[in-house]
């Protein structure tokens, strides 16, 4: 099949079934249609990560949110799949390529608390809901008195736990709340100086079979976002991170062609906590990867 990909009927775009996933996928579908004229239909794919019956303390399942979508691509049940890029494993999967990375939304974490309280203003011993090792590490660095409550579910489920008093606050990705029109629930956008976001947080990845649809998806690809997330995600493979590794990374432009990459790692291979920033000229993916590698080299020194 040529790079033009399937031509009969609308493009089939695989998505998870949650409201956030469908909202994000519809945004991508609309942008594809606007840029290429191709009709796009959403195909709901249930993923293992959606199974809330699995205990929170069960062994982690790398790529649980992405695996079923990738299977659907490889089996030709869908033509494209949309992932929250932070949920996509860092190792590429043979036969698949990230054909487009649309412009990134707000990469920060957001605190959603009762009574509009900020992180500093939460009462001593407040119960904060999150199951992210990265967020747990950052929150406890800022407030060692907090009680962390493992939590799972979609955005509304987590916000309901705050309203019902099960927890005093939850931490969610700002981008998801913004895309759902739920910014009013945010009581504080957490500064990156307190907790760095997950690598590629706020970005979406549009994946397809290698050799198909690449030229068409280029129309919705944002080069600046692609370079940012390439630098951030290169750290994951560089330090051998897993989905239980507490690692944050954020790349920001400090000039037309200069990217600053800040990374923090907690409780990883002898590192109690390390935060490193490096800057360099980045105009192509290889230079973004090199910037990430330079940070990893420094982290490796800390681990030795």
CATH of domain 109-190: 3.40.190.10
- Confidence band of 2 (pLDDT split at 50, 70, 90): very low
* For residue 52, pLDDT beyond 80: no
Confidence of residue 6 (pLDDT cuts 50, 70, 90): low
| Cβ atoms 112, 168 nearer than 8 A | no
Q: What is the pLDDT of residues 121-143, one digit of tens each?
A: 999 999 999 999 999 999 999 99
Distance CA(202)–CA(105), nearest Å, equals: 5
Mean pLDDT (whole number) for 258-272: 93
Return the pLDDT at 174.
98
The answer to pTM > 0.85 is yes
The per-residue pLDDT for range 275-295, each reduced to its tens digit, is 999 999 999 999 999 999 999
User: How many CA atoms within 13 Å lie on the side-chain side of 195?
Assistant: 29
Show me where the domains of the chain are located.
1-102+203-221, 109-190, 222-304
Q: Please state which of the ranges 40-54, 171-185, 215-229 shows the lowest mean pLDDT.
A: 40-54
Element (H, E) at 137: helix 133-142
Q: Identify which of 93, 99, 156, 159 has the alpha carbon closest to the alpha carbon of residue 129.
A: 159
Residues of the chain above pLDDT 70, percent: 91
pLDDT in tens, 228-242: 999 999 999 999 887
Instruction: Give the pLDDT confidence score for residue 8 in this predicted structure.
Output: 58
Band (53; pLDDT cuts 50, 70, 90): very low
| Residue 156 clears pLDDT 50, i.e. is over it | yes
User: In DSSP terms, which residues pair with 110 in a beta bridge?
Assistant: 172, 189
User: What is the predicted pLDDT for the residue at 214?
Assistant: 87
Q: Do domains 1-102+203-221 and 109-190 have the same CATH topology?
A: yes
- Asked whether the beta carbons of 56 and 207 are under 8 A apart, the reply is no
Mean pLDDT score across all residues of the chain: 91
CATH architecture of 1-102+203-221: 3-Layer(aba) Sandwich (3.40)
Complete edge-to-edge strand list for the sheet that includes strand 204-209:
40-44, 11-15, 80-84, 204-209, 96-100
Reference 38, options 220, 281, 229; nearest CA is 220
Q: What is the pLDDT at residue 92? A: 86
Is CATH 3.30.160.40 the classification given to domain 222-304?
yes
State residue 36 phi and psi, 5-degree precision.
-120, -15
Report the pLDDT averaged over residues 195-207. Answer: 97
pLDDT score of 301:
85
Per-residue model confidence as pLDDT tens digits over 104-113: 999 999 999 9
Q: What is the CA radius of gyration of the chain?
A: 19
Q: Catalytic residue numbers?
A: 87
CA–CA gap between residue 28 and residue 36 (Å, rounded): 12
């Amino acid at each position: 099949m040529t790079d033009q990909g399937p031509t009969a009927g609308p493009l089939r775009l695989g998505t998870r079934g949650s409201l956030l996933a469908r909202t994000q996928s519809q945004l991508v579908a609309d942008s594809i249609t606007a840029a290429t004229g191709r009709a796009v239909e959403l195909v709901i794919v249930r993923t293992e990560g959606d199974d809330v019956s699995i205990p929170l303390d069960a062994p982690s399942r790398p790529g649980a949110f992405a695996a079923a979508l990738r299977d659907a691509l490889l089996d030709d049940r869908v033509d494209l799949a949309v992932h929250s890029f932070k949920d996509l494993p860092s190792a590429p999967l043979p036969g698949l390529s990230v054909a487009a990375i649309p412009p990134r939304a707000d990469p920060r974490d957001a605190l959603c608390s009762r009574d509009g309280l900020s992180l500093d203003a939460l009462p001593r011993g407040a119960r904060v809901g999150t199951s992210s090792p990265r967020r747990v590490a950052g929150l406890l660095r800022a407030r060692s008195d907090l009680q962390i409550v493992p939590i799972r579910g979609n955005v509304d489920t987590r916000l309901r736990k705050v309203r019902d008093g099960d927890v005093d606050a939850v931490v969610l990705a700002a981008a998801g709340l913004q895309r759902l029109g739920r910014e009013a629930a945010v009581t504080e956008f957490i500064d990156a100086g307190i907790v760095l976001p997950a690598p590629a947080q706020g970005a979406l990845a549009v994946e397809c079979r290698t050799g198909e649809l690449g030229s068409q998806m280029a129309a919705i690809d944002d080069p600046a976002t692609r370079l940012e997330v390439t630098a951030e995600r290169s750290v994951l493979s560089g330090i051998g991170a897993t989905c239980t590794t507490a690692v944050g990374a954020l790349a920001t432009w400090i000039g037309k062609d200069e990217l600053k990459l800040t990374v923090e790692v907690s409780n990883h291979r002898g590192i109690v906590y390390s935060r490193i920033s490096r800057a360099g000229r980045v105009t192509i993916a290889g230079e973004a990867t090199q910037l990430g590698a330079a940070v990893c080299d420094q982290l490796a020194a800390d681990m030795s």
